[in-house]
Amino acid sequence: MNMEKVVTALSYKKIAEFIRKLYQTAEFIPLHEPRFIGNEKAYVTDCIDSTFVSSVGKYVDRFERMMVDFTGAKYAVAAVNGTAALHIALQLVGVERDDEVVTQPLSFIAACNAISYCGAMPVFVDVDRETLGMSPESLGDFFSAETSNASGRCVNKRTGRRIAAVVPMHTFGQPCRIDEIANICEEFSVSLVEDAAESLGSYYKGRHTGTYGKAGIFSFNGNKTITTGGGGMIVTGDETLAKHAKHITTTAKIAHHYEFVHDEIGYNYRMPNINAALGCAQMESLPRFLESKRAIASAYQQFFSDSNITFVKEPINAVSNYWLNSVILENKQARDSFLEELNSCGIMTRPAWRLMTELPMFLECQARDISNAKWIEERVVNIPSSARIV
């Protein structure tokens, strides 16, 4: 394989050298590793000393309040992980068995899984090349061409099924054009649930991602901008939805000082207090993480600026958390050799997810023209993006 042919302006050696200099190490460089630089040990120790490590304790409430303060959402409800948060958010905006939910094919599997847990099925619209997230044009075209709307009920004319929700995703932390998507959802009477799992610290037109829809969700998995080991959060402006989310994520138990009575099918989707302790400490460090991630993104942007490799910049009107920095290669072959070369010298790089439309579970699902998603999937690579803390 002739690597010089694929990368003309930059050799892999130069790229590897640059990334090693950025992270100041000759060791393996992961894509995204957590940083524990603050009160993590103190809070976890306090949590253990209190014995309230599980489903009850002060850290869960505190972590939820910190998320409210940071995102500007009215309410936040912690959950055991981001996928569970999505499942509950979809159920509470009214997604039911045999409904359809519109989402993007370029995404992590969580949204399609959560849609499936509700007994519903995904319908796929395309993404934008600039934002990597759902395209308002593709979404609008789908609603105009394929649905009919009678008394507030949006129906897919092809399948006869109700369209219950739209789930866009802020890919790698880059905000999608969420205000336009919100307007389309409003026009066609469909609930908006934002998969903001990757975009804590990302804003669109001055407003935090995840707060445009009826509900939004975040993830605190180990590879995300902040981590609780595993964890998730539902945010919403709707008090009833927030209360219901708390209720059914905690087994739908009616509060009582000794009796066990549950009034509907609930889930054990609670975030344990010990994970929330970690979350409180991580939230305190979040501004530092974000600052460092911006500096890294800006260094990458400059490094790739005069090359045939395109660094993915934050979209207009947006502030990105640069959770995962990404570059666009010329074609699939260039992507594959980039992945091969950098991974084999101990610098972790990863392609995007295989498109949802190509997975065996969703082959039968309706999909619009998704050529941008295919174009991106063939070319995009994530490069090391952990916060640097010195």
Ligand X SMILES: *Cc1c(COP(=O)(O)O)cnc(C)c1O
Q: Which residues bind ligand X (CB under 6 A)?
A: 81-83, 107-108, 110-111, 169, 195, 197-198, 219, 221, 232
Residue 224 CB, shortest distance to ligand X, in Å, is 6
Taking the least distance from each CB to ligand X, the nearer of 7 and 85 is: 85
Taking the least distance from each CB to ligand X, the nearer of 111 and 348 is: 111
Residue 100 CB, shortest distance to ligand X, in Å, is 19
How many angstroms separate the CA atoms of 114 and 118, rounded?
7
Taking the least distance from each CB to ligand X, the nearer of 73 and 106 is: 106
Residue 172 CB, shortest distance to ligand X, in Å, is 9
Taking the least distance from each CB to ligand X, the nearer of 6 and 110 is: 110
What backbone torsions phi and psi does residue 53 show, to the nearest 5 degrees? -95, -10
Taking the least distance from each CB to ligand X, the nearer of 121 and 309 is: 121
How many angstroms separate the CA atoms of 33 and 362, rounded?
31
Residue 144 CB, shortest distance to ligand X, in Å, is 27
DSSP string, 222-288: TTSSS--SS-EEEEES-HHHHHHHHHHHBTTBPP-SS---B-S---B-PPPHHHHHHHHHHHHHHHH
Quote the radius of gyration of the chain (alpha carbons, Å).
21
- Which 8-state DSSP code applies to residue 203? E
Residue 85 CB, shortest distance to ligand X, in Å, is 7
Residue 155 CB, shortest distance to ligand X, in Å, is 27
How many angstroms separate the CA atoms of 356 and 269, rounded?
25
How many angstroms separate the CA atoms of 188 and 140, rounded?
9
What backbone torsions phi and psi does residue 283 show, to the nearest 5 degrees? -60, -35
How many angstroms separate the CA atoms of 177 and 315, rounded?
9
Taking the least distance from each CB to ligand X, the nearer of 6 and 197 is: 197
Beta bridge partners of 134: 127
